[in-house]
Amino acid sequence: MSLLKIKQVICIWLRKQHTASTCKTAFKKHKWVLPRGHETKISVFNCITNSKVPLVLKNPNFLSWYMCGPTVYDSAHLGHACCYVKFDTIRRILLNYFNINVVMMMGVTDIDDKIIKRADERKEDPRRLADHYEMEFFGDMASLNIMPPTVVTKVTNFIPQIINFVQKIIDKGQAYTTEDGSVYFDTKHYSQYGKLFPNIPNENSSATDKRSAIDFALWKGSKPGEPWWPNPWGPGKGRPGWHIECSAMASAILGSNIDIHSGGVDLLFPHHENEEAQSCVYHGVDQWVNYWLHSGHLHVKGEEKMSKSLKNTVGIHDFLESFSANQFRIFCLMSPYRSSIEYTDTAMKNAVAITKKIESFLIDSDAYIHGYTALGDVNEPYLLKTVSEVKTRILGALADDFDTATAMSAIIELVGVTNKMLHEKPQHDMKCARNPVAIAAVMSFVQQSLEKFGSNFSKKRESGMQTKDCDVNLGRILDSVVHFRNQVRQNALNPPGEDINATTDNVKNGAVKNTVLLNACDSLRDDLLSSGIHVKDHGKMSTWNYIGKSFKEVR
């Protein structure tokens, strides 16, 4: 008996049990088909099967990816940033850890009800408004070190393709027109509707133009004063529906089958469900997207997700006045991409603390390698073995649905183990052999691992301190400044001769400290830190590192 016949028999039996509504759910697991192609040794969560499945690519070491971009009617906020940072991290993991070339396409919605409404409120041209916020969006993404998409498309540049897309669905009998020139997708006559989100209410619409409440607009008839484009339906004036835009643009660039499509979990229904339905009809296929990835929301403490409608958003520019892009990236890395994250002072303080711990570790390691610090008790064989084990743990975690939380835990543990060795004093004042190679191996591994995730912990000395308007190497100037400060500080700690005005507080081991000079050295260190230069004292030596602008404490 064929599989189709078996399905028909089971459905008849279910209807007899008065549970015909569960028939669709019973075969949910059969609605997704494992693609034919090339294994990647990566598993990803599948919202259709509700389980992890193997990531198989159509082409070896090549992955096509469409990501829903912004509707550019307002500034992006931290909730948007969280989504894009998470997917940027996954993109980097695919490239840097699994050698997969990712072609990332992003669609920008530059015509929409929200854009028209905001432009009308401001008495501004909708396209000018959209262009402004589109430019601002990509500037915000760059400030968070998010890689730009390989291809960016805008809806208004794809109107002919969208009209053709809609017409083909009409020609296939899967859409209908209304008197105002709108076109709706007929969900009732599409058997696969509910593939991504099966628990869809199927109620009759109270409106006269829609046959079902869940039928969605492929094309909207224009209203007076709204932007419009000529089309072959009804009055002949209108504009695209929201869902059709992504399908038409992605199909025009990436074709009839896409490896990955991503967005926030709130887009699963109706946006992604509708995209899949209309695209399958247009291309005449059962599976347009092989893998749907959805990121969890950013929540505000005690509230729902961060969103403009709830007026609980934090602007990206405002956020970066208090925190760094590195700190936000660490905040996102510490939880699985599918999980919601609560944005709280405690969570950000934790991210700041982890970032500072890593920065301090890299500075201390560099100082040890160059002989600026006292000898630590470094066990080279154990440390190199630990690095190898952590590398294996990280690869295993990332292959398991891009589990950055587990990978970060392994990196932080490695930093802790190495830090302990760096600062551990030898027993009985015995001198230990130096092991700079082992420390250099850990330092390089930690730094490169984090940079593969999109964080930036590179040591920015000479190359990072160049300016366009000056040929002088600022790195050398800072070397001289820090060297001079170190000489002053050492003389202040151990001055020649005695001070007859010495007090108990400024005398140590028979030497008199010059507190005025020490305070001056501290003031210089603080001034340099405000400009992004971190000066750290290691006994009788001092080092500097460029860490970027100074950030305020967590509010």
Looking at the DSSP assignment, which residues form a beta bridge with residue 167?
none
Per-residue pLDDT at 312: 84
The DSSP 8-state label assigned to residue 21 in this structure reads G
Per-residue pLDDT at 131: 96
Residue 375 region, left (φ>0) first, then alpha (ψ -120 to 50), else beta?
beta
Q: Which amino acid belongs to residue 431?
A: K
String of DSSP letters for 112-158:
SHHHHHHHHHHT--HHHHHHHHHHHHHHHHHHTTPPPPSEEEEGGG-
Per-residue pLDDT at 306: 86
- Going from the first residue of the chain to its last (555 residues), give the mean pLDDT of each consecutive group of 10, the final group possibly shorter: 43 38 40 95 97 96 97 96 98 98 98 95 95 97 97 97 98 95 95 91 64 94 91 90 97 97 96 98 98 95 75 92 96 97 94 95 89 79 96 98 98 96 72 82 96 84 39 62 77 65 48 79 80 76 66 41
Residues contacting residue 516 through CB under 8 Å, at least 6 positions apart = none
Per-residue pLDDT at 467: 40
In degrees, rounded to 5, the angle at the alpha carbon of residue 354 between the alpha carbons of residues 42 and 320 is 95
How many whole angstroms separate alpha carbon 421 and alpha carbon 380?
A: 10
**pTM of the full predicted structure?**
0.80
Nearest Cα residue to 34 out of 283, 286, 261: 286
Token pair belonging to 408: 């970060």
The DSSP 8-state label assigned to residue 270 in this structure reads I
Residues in the chain, overall count: 555
Give the domains, in start order, of the chain with CATH numbers: 60-322 (3.40.50.620), 357-452 (1.10.730), 464-546 (no CATH)
Per-residue pLDDT at 545: 73
Per-residue pLDDT at 537: 80
String of DSSP letters for 289-320:
EEEEEEEPPEEETTSSB--TTTT---BHHHHH
Per-residue pLDDT at 16: 39
